[in-house]
Amino acid sequence: LLLLDEPAAGLRYQEKQALAALLRALREEGMSILLVEHDMDFVMGLVDRLVVMDFGERIAGGAPEAVQADPRVIEAYLGAA
């Protein structure tokens, strides 16, 4: 199990791409990865499933596409429409 806390923080685009490729390779080799990250573009292109938390509470979880469309996630991170 690999635990990572904000590994993409401060990285440039190409560095993030290299990190993502490394994490994908590790996952393909059977490693489990727990990733805490605020860069949603980085996360959405990398994970099979995710959990979204807001002020320490789980507000959504599942496939990236479903989580992005969840009204609770939209309200918490984009503001109410």
Question: Mind telling me the catalytic residues?
Answer: 6
Residue 19: phi and psi, rounded to 5, are: -65, -45
